[in-house]
Amino acid sequence: MVKASDDRVGEEVTLFSPYKLGKFQLEHRVVLAPLTRCRGINGLPNDAHVEYYSQRATPGGLLITEGTHVSDTAAGMPNVPGIYTEEQVQAWKKVTDAVHAKGAIIFCQLWHVGRASHPVYQPNGATPISSTNKPISSKWKAFLPDGSEVEYPEPRPLSRSEIIELVEIYKQAAINSIRAGFDGVEIHGAHGYLLDQFLKDHINDRTDEYGGSIENRLRFLLKVVEVVGSAIGPERVGVRISPAIEFNDAIDSDPLGLGLAIINKLNKLQESIGSKLAYLHVTQPRFMAQEGFDDGAEWAIKWREAYQGTFITSGGFVRESGIEAVAKGEADLVAYGRLYISNPDLVKRLKINAPLNKYDRNTFYIPDPVVGYTDYPFLSEEEERNGVSSL
């Protein structure tokens, strides 16, 4: 059993036990994972977002928003909200107010897709940016606003001065998030998006201080974490990584070593500033169900053991596996994605072992403000009474 990071020795810990997340008191360990839903028309959260997030808010529950653009170059899918204009900040305030009214905590995930974009999403049809000029392979497709899918274009490598500018862009997005009422931010360094394009050696072919050695490849991410933490407080900053996930060709020759190197640097950063980050969020390899991959569970345990702080895990968890992960100390918190889409009252359903609504993949990324977004049913009183709890 792995030692949990904030649990008293001898106490039985479950998925529904309270947890102290830095300055925040959680009443259970079920987290809403960040989920792109493509309902942010014109880059703005709206009344549908208010309803969606407040439906999933519970007293002392942690919600992480969909990936939220840090700038006008960050987009790679249609109708995704941003956090870089004043209009966006004001629109998000309605969401955070509704979530806080339910007693929940909400973090904004800061997202830049890098090369996982297309000129149709870029200002003046510009070329998407990355660590490299290598495009994502034809195995993956860009999803355009008209619903068509095309191959990704060749990106443009960022200059060193542009990387420094982007660090400041992340900083401002974090400041904007706090102004919008968010309790913190999650820096998206996973799934083959911009920061991950620097981390993974299959992508990053730079010869400057941002490429080559593992220390150089970590430089951009760590600078963002450091600067954002200085701006809003490290206890309000979470970091998401996915060393073993090959989504968008994000392949590394040594995923275990990459994960441990990131964690070692984050631990040193926490020690140097005398404060913990909010959490480290790691996507399990089961997220992609990668064929022939059987090292993932062992690697995840090693990453968990190495990180000195709150550890969130996600990637295909169901009730039983989530309960097991917390009970064994393999994670402090478990983030659920698809099950939370179709079950706005997921926490209650998991706790009493009630049946779950099935999700409809066809409505994951459509702009409809209701269908597949806020119209999934809650448990009826009768169904709630018939729930069978095994806890």
List the end-to-end C-alpha distance of the chain, in Å, as a whole number.
20
For residue 114, give the 3-state DSSP assignment.
Answer: coil
| Number of C-beta neighbours around residue 265 at 10 A | 18
Q: What is the dihedral of CA 6, 12, 13, 15, to 10 degrees?
A: -170
Neighbour tally for 338: CB within 10 Å: 15
Whole-angstrom Cα distance, residue 224 to residue 195? 9
How many alpha carbons fall within 13 Å on the CB side of residue 319?
A: 16
Residue type, 230: S
CB contact at 8 A, 90 and 55: no
204 and 211 in contact (C-beta within 8 Å)? yes
* Known active-site residue 279: no
Residue type, 228: V
Residue 111 near residue 68 (C-beta atoms within 8 A): yes
Catalytic residue among 19, 152, 193, 307: 193
Q: Could you tell me which residues come within 8 angstroms of residue 280 by beta carbon, excluding any fewer than 6 positions away?
A: 238, 239, 240, 241, 263, 266, 307, 309, 310, 311, 312
So which residues are the catalytic ones? Answer: 193
